[in-house]
Structures are given as structure tokens and as C-alpha cells.
Structure 1
Amino acid sequence: MFRKVFEYAGPYKKKTIASGIVILTAVIFSILPFVFVYQVITPLVMGETISREMIAGRVIGVGICLLCHACLYIKGLSMSHDAAYHILMRLRISLQQKMEKLPLGVIQEKGTGSLKRMFVDDIDSMEMLLAHALPEGAGNVAAPVIIYISLFFIDWKLALMTLASLPVGLTAMMVMYAIGMKDMDSYYQAGKIMNNTIIEYINGMEVVKVFHKDAESYRRFEKDIKTYRDFTLDWYKACWPWMALYNSILPCTLLVTLPLGSWFVLKGYSTLPDLILVMCLSLSMGIPLLKALGFLPSLPQINYKIETLEKMMDADPLCQTQNAFCGKDHTVEFRDVVFAYDKETAADHVSLTIKEGEKTALAGESGSGKSTLAKLLVHYYDPQSGSITVGGQDIRDMSLEALNSLISYVAQEQYLFPGSLKDNIRLGKLSATDEEIMEAAEKAQCMEFIEKLPDGINTMAGDAGKQLSGGQRQRIALARAILKDAPIIVLDEAMAFTDPDNEEKMEAAMEEVSRGKTLLVIAHRLPSVQDADKICVMEHGRLTAAGTHEQLLKDCLEYQKLWKASVASMNWKVESGKGE
């Protein structure tokens, strides 16, 4: 039951066990007063004389035992909390290390809601299990077991009577566990879906409001919350009757002992002092049993929760080595690359060479596989077959750090940290001086809007860069790329948020960032890449044509269609502007 806990406990395994022993000792001290009560009652019942000193001594003994119980219980819980928080820390670090080895694309697919729930909510929920259920549950179960064994040395017949409630109580408990474990996976899955839906609902509220999709979005929000509610209520409704049964039956140790034991005494099968002692010890088990029963339903969840967290990270790690880059140049080559998201093929036997110092563009309709090739190059995923090389070296035969040092990747959506714009640009080169950062911002055409900000380049970007527009965030990302000065540049629809007024500035910024570099551009607007050395046309994950703009306009029907749509879109924007 505790195997998974001890896998992550490390040096805190001994402290966890020690906390359980200390709490067990505390529970034993809470039982001793019942023995003192027996020592006072028995002489009175048997008609024997008893001194005041003896009574006073037992009363003092009860007080000392209760004091020791309180002190030891507090000490045990202090030790268990210290061990629990260190175990949770080690669990978080272990999961984080596993996550770092996963392809970045796999991590993005899991969603921020699932990852937040895993690293924060799910792990925090284990604190009660590790700090309370484990040591207290073990201590409060062990004490009654010790008492039961002791009862057999007193009178085995009376001891068997005290065990009469166990079969019924344990049967009810086992049924409850079986029901709970059967539905536990569905319960946690419903919670995961609800968590993702809530985060998506909040993040997408602006779009929902603009396009009047409140009702549709709320229906999904309400549906997933109700599903989680229904799973929770159904789970508890199935478990409650059995929980009530074993909570009522198990602590009733006198249910058979009192009537049948009294009859045994009358018949001479047992002695009255033995019956009194057995009854006192049976009563002493009530509190520990009730506490144990309160924790026992939680104990099976420890392994389940840890295994669930591990399954979240259960994916093939990214193929990489610790090797540095040793390629002969910065030519990129895709060799018969195949990749699919689940069963949907996104790259179907793609072979492509991006020569060093040249500008290569990928064109195609949405979903044709353009961005997938870019993500494969920056090693978001491993290709399922084929290979991608830089200078003849497979990207899987180098460390991710070595590959990242070669490539600047500017995607459509750029994340900015809440710090200053200066610090966000400095991510491209942590050792950069303020002068180098300002120069990169200048080349990326950022100064136009930075100079209008109250604190200039020291202005805070806000949460995820929300203080800036999409186009401004992209220019900050370009400034990072310029500062990084990597030999290979990947621009994945980097002008997606650019308005016509700033399009020329963005094109100038991209020309600056790519001068003399190996450049791969995902074409959002075909006119912006018509000067490319090579344009590759993608259809349904396949590379169907490649050549210059003039060659493709002449020979490729798909490119002709894309070009007409792009030109029509530009004309529409111009006409819309005149109409206003």
C-alpha cells in the first residue's frame, strides 16, 4: 500500500516510519488509563479493600498518561508533516525532471489546466494522506491489533467475543473499497476535464464575448462541472451505506462480549476480573478504531494518486544525447520524415533541403503540415520515421541545448514573462548588455511603441505579455531572435498579428534577423515570401511542389490557388480601408 510513497521518500522514509511509531506510542498511552480504571474497579466489585493512596496513584497515572499522549501525538504529527512536505517536494522535482525529458509538443497537448492540477492541486491533496492518514492510520490500527493479541492471553473465549464485530465491519469496508477503486479513475478523469474547461473558459472569455458565444461556451462549462458533480455524488452515494455500516459495527467491541461474557461468568467459564479487564480494554479501542476508520478509506488513494501523476508523464522521452553540435555547416535536411498526431498524418514522407544562407518558405492551406515541420526541426517532437539533420548531424544525436543554440524560433504566439520588456528581450542572450538589447529592439522595429510607453524598455510586459498587442509581442520576440544571433532562423507565421500599417516594419525586422542566416519561413502572406530562394508547397502533410515564386506560378495549380487567395485577401483589406 505504501510502496509508491517510499519510492519518493528517500532519506525521509525513516522519519515517516518514526512518526508512525511515535503516534503508536501516544495511542498506547491513551489506552493505559483503562487499565488503571480496571485496577480500581476490580477490588470494589470483588468486595476487596482499596486504599486512598492506591486510588490517588491511579488518578495521577491517568493524568500522566494523558499528558504523554498529547505530547507524543503532537511530536509525531510534527515529524510526519516535516517528512510529508519533503516527500511532496521530491515528488514534484521527480515529475518535473520527467517532464523536461518529454517532447515539448506532448507537454503542450496535455494543457495548462491538467499540468496545473497535477503539480499544484493533486500533489497538495496528498499532504493530508502523508501527514495524517499514513502515520495516524498506521498507529491507530496497530494499537487495537496489539490489544486484541493481549486479550487472547487474558481469556481466549472473551477475546473471540470482542472479535465478533470484525467480520461484518471488514466485509462492509472491503465492499466500499471495491466500489471506490472501481470508479476512482472516472472520478479523477472528470476532475481533469473540468479543470481544463474552467481554464479554457476563463482564457477564452474575450473571444466568447466578441462573437456572442456565451451560451455555447457556458453550456460546455456547465456540462463538465455537472459531470464532475455527478461522478462525485454517485461515488459517495455508492460508498456511504457501507461506510456507515462499518463505522457503526467495527467499534462496537462489546456487542457480543457484554451479554455473552456475563453469561460465561455466571456459568463459571470465565472469571469476573477477566471480564472487567477485557471490557475495559475493548472500550479503550473505540477511539483508535474510529480514528483509523476515518483514515483507512484514504490510504488506498496514496498509491493511486502517485501512479496517476506518473501516468501524466508516461510518454516516450525526447531522443537526444549529451553531444555538442559537430555538423559541417548549417544546412537543414528532412529525410523521408513521417509524423502523425494520434492517427492524423501531418508529415507524410517529407524530404526537403534548406541550404545554408538561403531563404526557404513553406506554403499551404491551414492544416497542411507547415507548422509541424517547423516544430519537428526545433525538436518539439521526434519524427516517427526518417530523420532531420543540421550540417549532416541528426538532431537526435545532439543535446537539446546544442540544438537550441543553433536555432531561433519565432512562433505565431509568443509568450512574454511578466517582467520588463528589457528582461524579455535579454532571454535571447542572458549576458547581453543594455546597449546590445536596445540595438536589437531598434533592429526589430520595437522602439516605435517602446518610446511611447511610460517606462520605456523597462515597462512591465504584464501577465503573459498582455500589456502589449499581438504584433508588439511578435516584434519583442524578433528582438530576442536578433539578440540571440543563431545561424538558423525559423519564422512560424511570425506576421500573423501584424496590421497592414506595420507590415513593412515587420518585414524589415525579419530581413534584419535573417540576414546571412539559414531561414525557414512558414508563409502567412505569400507576397512576403515571393523573394524566397525556394518555396515548398504542402498538401495534407505531403510536399507536392518546390521552386521559385515564378516557377510555381507557372507550373503548380495549388500554389496558383494560394496566391490568388492571398492577393484577393490583400485587395479586400485595401478596399475595406477605402470604404471606411
Structure 2
Amino acid sequence: MIRMLLRVLGHQYAQPVRRTVALMTTTAVVEGLSYALLVPVLRELFGSTPANAWPWLIAFGAAVACYAGLRYLSDLSGFRVGTTLLRGMYHRLGDHLARLPLGWHSTGRVGEVSVLASRGVLEAMSVIAHLLTPFISAAVTPLTIVVVILAYNWQLGLAALAAAPLVAAIQVWTGRSMAASDAENAERGHEATGRVIEYLQAQPVLRAGGRTGERFGMLDDSLRELQRASRRSTLSALPGVVGTTLTVQAMFTALLALGAYLALGGSIGTAEVLAILVLAARCADPLLSLADIGGKLRGARAVLTQLDTVLRTEPLPESREPIQPVRHDLEFESVTFHHGDRRVFDNLSLAVPAGQRLAVVGPSGAGKSTLLQLLARFYDVDTGAVHVGGVDVRAISTEVLMARFAIVFQNVYLFDGTIEENVRLGRPDASGAEVRAAAAAARLDEVIERLPEGWATTVGEGGALLSGGERQRVSIARALLKDAPIVLLDEVTSALDPVNEAAVHEGIERLMAGRTVVMVAHRLRTVQRADHIAFLDGGRIVEEGSHDELLRRGGRYADFWELSLTPVKSR
């Protein structure tokens, strides 16, 4: 567990963790040794001169005070180190996530990492602050007490020591048998959570379709499976709890019988037997708590394993001697790329001269959005190269590369802040006048004027308090403020109403002016003014040319164009 913790955190935290573990272990040993003084105390109290017990009582009080002081220091150290580790873990996880390719951050992974970074990190880092002390105390204090019993009477000590391997074997066996049920329980819990969220989000559709009862059945099934998995997990833990309890009770019974036998034979005094039985009883509570602590440690270890998996994910390699491009032309050179098991591009070649507009069209699933993602290096190509300004994107540092691009996606994500804060993401050091000018160019000023709080309006998580068209205007204003030489547009008007579409088009035209542009669009009217059009299908460019050239050829693009005009003609 400690090795896993240090691997996840980084070895710069090894020294404080080891010091804390050493202090906790010392505290547990002192606790066990303090109980050794109970033997002379009880011997004197039951002897002919009970007053002789006072020095031993004082020594016992001093030992308990020493233990209390050490326990305070070890708990304090645990909390301090735990807080430091928590802060360090958040920094390390955040820094690593920022270095991972943007393509790694899929919707599923974002949900998983969000849970991991909140509840998961707190659970894992609480090991030092809350679980390590009781675990070390439950393991080390009973062993120390057994050594004390051995020092007073070897027969009773060996009888007590015989329980140690049994308890250890039971704990190991319980941990192994619980691993599968814990994993199943976590999986069922994750599935049930997804069903609950799905059920809540789908209420408008389900009620409109009159299928609420059917979907509730699916949710009910997932919750029932979670209940069954929880029951199996509980039943898997039961043998370990019962086994540990029976072992502890058997040890105590054996000590009682052996102590009575030795006392009757005159080999040991009654006071010593009584004191050793008190020590044995003191061993019982921490040993019985091992089952509960072990379950919590298994949960923390599972989270640490997930964190370790994320942190072991390799980021895209950075060039040791990065090159800064001076031009703004773009080129795909014999690019082959697989997304999972699917081949998206097969020996694709395409060029965009600086300052020109390229429109990419084609059927759904042809890889149009992926083409933009490869330009921005969300992923690395399998073979071939993607060039920006004549330089392979793999030879450009991430900061320099991203500074070259202004990207406007179809699905705009806004942070839960004000409109101004979201626009300023494009260029945080921009002046107020520059921010207002970008907003005016994107026609965002029209939205701001009708909002009661204006620029200080909070957009909500993901921009939920704004409409789709309003979010898109914020995104365009942000891109205008960034003033990057290359613009990537991905289906920015496909889901907008006519009023917002006209406003967004106006903003897009201002954004594209004088820049190198690659746009993806389903509505072919938006690409008529492109300098060059590429029709993408089957991982290849099947047609290229201007709008008029492609219409004259009567090929795939012409067919798409006719289909796009059909609804208009029918009206």
C-alpha cells in the first residue's frame, strides 16, 4: 500500500511518509510496552504489601502519558502529511491531465476523472490521516503485547503467538476473496449512477413518448443488481470476520486454560495470570478491527490503482529542440490514422496555403472533425505527417502550436463564470476595449445588452444558462480576442435557429478575414465562399476544387449540393 501510494504521489514525498509511518509504529510499540507494567502492578496489589504497587503505578502512568504524547504527535503528523499529499496529488494529477493529448479527454473519461479527482483522491489520501494509525496500531500493538507475554512466561507467550499466523492468513485470504466482489460492487455502482443520471436527463423525451415505466424498469434493474452485488460483497467478508473472531476467542480460551493449569501447578502466580489475561484481552479489540480497516484499505488501494493508471498514461512526446514555424500554411502528408480499431485516414494528403479557406465536406463518420483534431494535435498520426508552416506539429511545442489556432466547435463549453471571464480565456491580458471590440464583432454585445447583469452575467456550468446561439457567440468572441493566425471551425451553425445563424455567420466572417481557415460544415451553403473544397469519404480525399469546379464535374460534391437544395425546391 505504501509503495503504491509513493508511486502515485512521486518519490519526493517518500521521506515525510516514512517518518510518519515510523512515528506511528513507535507509538504502537510504546502502547504495547506500557501494558507490560500491568504485570508488576497487579503482582504487588495482590501481594502481601499492596503499597509497593505505587512506584509501578507511577511508572505505568508515565508510560501512558508518553504514549499519549506520541499518539498526539503521530496523529498530527498523519494529518499534516495527509494534507500535503492531498495538495501534491491534486497538483500532480492536474499537471498530468494538462499534458495528456486532448483526444484522451473523451466524455466517458471526463466523468471518470471527475469522480476520481474529487471523492477518489480524498479517499486515497485519507489513508495517511485516518487509516494508517488504526491499522498499524491493530497490527503492531498486539505483537508487542505478545512479546511482553513471552518475556514473562514463554508457555503463555507461545500460545498467544500461535494466533498471529492464523490471523494474518485469514486477513490475506479475506482480501483476495473480497477483491472480485469489491470490483463487481464498484462496477454495479457506476452503472446504477449512470442509469439514474440517464433517467433524470431523459425525462422530457420519456414523458413525451409515454415510456417512463419502461425506462424506470431499466433503472430498477440496475439498482437491483447493485443490491445483489452489495449482498455478495457482504457475504464474502463474513467468513473473514467470523474466522478472526473465532481465532481471537480461541486464543483467549487457550491462554485462560493454560494459565489456570500453570497457576495450579505453581509455575506462575495468580496475579501474573490475571495480568496476562488482561493483556490478551487488550489484543482482542485491535485484532477484531482489522477486518473493517482492511475493507477501507482495499477501497483506497482500488482508487490508488485507478490514479496510477491515469498517471501512467503517456502524454504526447514533446520535442527536445522545438521549432517555431514562421508561416501559417497547413499540410497533410500521406497521413494514416487509426482511432481505436477503425482506420479513419488512409494515406491522406491535403494542403492549405496561408491565408486561404479550406472547406471539408463529406458524409457523417468520414473523419472531418478528426482532421481538425490532427491539425491541433489532439492525437498523433500513425504514419505520415501534419505540417503547420512547413514544420511537423510533433516538432512544435504544445504552447506554441495552440497559440497558432483559434478553434470554434459545434458544442461550445463555457466555464461556470461570467461572460467576460469566458471571453477573456482567449487572451487573459487583453484590455477592456479589446474585449468589447471582440464581443461587438461576434455580435455578442446584443446578447449582453438584454441581460440584466450584462458582462457580469453568470453563464452556469457548461454555459447552461445561455442558449446555443448565445454560447456560440461567446465562443466566437473568444476566438476573435485570441487573434490567432489559423482558424478551425467545426459545424458551428448546424444546430442554430435562423436569427442566431445569421449573427454567428457574421461573426465567423470577421473571424476568418485574413487568416488560414479550415472549416467543417454539413450545410453546404456555408462553404460556397471557400477558396478550396475537399470532399472526404472512406479516409481519402475523393474530390477537390472550388465550388463551381466541383458542380461542373457532377461528382459526389454535386450530389451533396443537390440534396442540400431539395428541401428548398420542395417548398
- Same topology, TM > 0.5: yes
* Per-residue CA distance 1:319-359 (angstroms, 9 max, x = gap): 33365653352111111222232112222322111121111
Partner of 2:155, secondary structure, is: helix
Native 8 Å contact 2:442 2:508 kept in 1:
yes
Q: 2:525 aligns to what?
A: 527
SS at 1:339's partner residue? Answer: strand
| Paired letter, 1:287 | D
- Structure 2 gaps, min length 5: none
Distance 1:77 1:307 in 2: 26
Tell me which moved more, 312-321 or 74-83.
312-321
Residues 59 and 174 (structure 1), Cα distance of their counterparts in 2 relative to 1, 3 Å cut: same
Distance in 1 between the 2:314 and 2:199 partners?
A: 31
The residue type paired with residue 77 of structure 1 is D
Length-normalised TM-score, structure 1: 0.89
Per-residue CA shift, 1:5-38, capped at 9, x if unaligned?
Answer: 2342756544444444544555556556754543
SS in 1 for 2:243: helix
Per the alignment, do residues 233 and 65 of structure 1 end up closer, same or farther by CA in structure 2, a change over 3 Å counting?
Answer: same
SS at match of 2:105: helix
Partners of 2:454 and 2:270 in 1: CA distance: 91
Quick one: structure 1 residues 38 and 571, their matched pair in 2 at CA, closer, same or farther if it must change by over 3 Å?
A: farther
Are residues 1:42 and 2:43 paired? yes
Q: Residue 379 of structure 2 aligns to a residue in which SS?
A: coil
SS of alignment partner, residue 347 of structure 1:
strand
Matches for 1:355-504 after TM superposition, within 5 Å: 355-504=353-502
Residue 114 of structure 1: how far off its partner (Å):
0.5
Q: Distance in 1 between matches of 2:208 and 2:508?
A: 32
* Amino acid aligned to 2:43: T
Summarize the alignment of residues 164-179 of structure 1 with structure 2, pairs less than 5 Å apart: 164-179=162-177
Q: 2:4 — aligned with what?
A: 4
Residue aligned with 1:284, SS: helix
Q: Distance in 1 between matches of 2:269 and 2:475?
A: 88
CA distance in 2, matches of 1:233, 1:98: 37
Amino acid at match of 1:135: T
**CA–CA distance in 2 between the matches of 1:119 and 1:74?**
30
Alpha-carbon shift at residue 471 of structure 1 (Å): 1.1
Corresponding residue SS for 2:359 = strand
Following superposition, the deviation at residue 156 of structure 1 comes to 2.1
Residue 349 (structure 2) aligns with: 351
Q: What is the match of residue 253 of structure 1?
A: 251
- Mark the CA change 1:220 to 1:496 in structure 2 (over 3 Å): closer, same or farther: farther
Cα deviations by residue, 1:463-483 (Å, 9 ceiling, x for unpaired)? 221222101111221111122
RMSD, aligned α-carbons: 3.0
Q: Write out per-residue CA displacement over residues 183-213 of structure 1, whole angstroms, 9 at most, x where no aligned residue.
A: 4444434444444555555555555556666
Secondary structure in 2 aligned to 1:111? helix
Q: Is the 8 A contact 1:251 1:285 kept in 2?
A: no
Correspondence 1:120-159 to 2 at 5 A: 120-159=118-157
Aligned partner of residue 344 in structure 2, secondary structure: strand
Alpha carbons 1:113, 1:199 under 8 Å: kept: no
Q: Is the 8 A contact 2:472 2:492 kept in 1?
A: yes
Q: Distance in 2 between matches of 1:570 and 1:472?
A: 27
Please name the residue that 1:578 is paired with: none
Aligned match of 1:103: 101
**CA–CA separation in structure 2 for the residues paired with 1:202 and 1:341:** 31
Contact 1:169 1:247 in 2 (8 A): no
Alignment-derived partner of residue 514 in structure 2: 516
Distance 1:471 1:207 in 2: 22
- The Cα shift of 1:77 comes to 1.7
Point out the more displaced range, 391-400 or 239-248: 239-248
Unpaired stretches in structure 1, ≥5 consecutive residues: 576-580
- What TM-score, normalized to structure 2? 0.90
Provide the rounded CA distance (Å) in 2 between the counterparts of 1:283 and 1:196: 47
How far did residue 318 of structure 1 move? 1.7
- Match for 2:81 among 77, 80, 83? 83
SS in 1 for 2:106: helix
**Separation of aligned partners in 2, 1:267 and 1:445:** 100
SS of residue matched to 1:246 = helix
Contact 1:2 1:303 in 2 (8 A): no
Counterpart Cα distance in 2 of 1:536 and 1:229: 54
Counterpart Cα distance in 1 of 2:377 and 2:217 = 38
Q: Given that residues 181 and 232 in structure 2 are in contact (C-alpha distance below 8 angstroms), is that contact kept between their aligned partners in structure 1? A: no
Paired with 2:50 and 2:253, the residues of 1 have a C-alpha distance of: 34
**Between 409-418 and 188-197, the greater mean CA deviation after superposition:** 188-197
Query: Identity over aligned residues, as a percent?
Result: 26
Counterpart contact for 1:117–1:192, Cα < 8 Å: no
Range with bigger deviation, 231-240 or 410-419? 231-240
Give the deviation of 1:225 after TM superposition: 4.1
Between the aligned partners of 2:99 and 2:562, the Cα distance in structure 1 is: 44
The CA deviation at 1:370 is 0.7
Instruction: Report what 1:332 is aligned to.
Output: 330
Name the counterpart of 1:289: 287
Q: Structure 2 matches for 1:167-246, cutoff 5 A? A: 167-199=165-197, 202=200, 214-215=212-213, 218-246=216-244
Shift of 1:235: 1.8
Q: Is the 8 A contact 2:319 2:396 kept in 1?
A: yes
Which one-letter code corresponds to 1:438 in the other structure?
R
Q: 1:182 to 1:37 in 2, by over 3 A?
A: same
Supply the distance in 2 between the matched residues of 1:570 and 1:102 (Cα, whole angstroms).
45
Moved more, 460-469 or 367-376: 460-469
DSSP 3-state at the match of 1:285: helix
Q: Residue type matched to 1:479 in 2?
A: A
* 1:397, distance to aligned residue in structure 2 (A): 0.7
Decide which of 255, 260, 263 is 2:261's aligned counterpart: 263
1:568 is matched with: 566
Secondary structure (helix, strand or coil) at the match of 1:387 reads strand
Distance 1:6 1:404, change over 3 A: closer
| C-alpha deviation, 1:403, in angstroms | 1.0
Size of the alignment, in residue pairs? 570
Superposition map of 1:542-561 within 5 A: 542-561=540-559
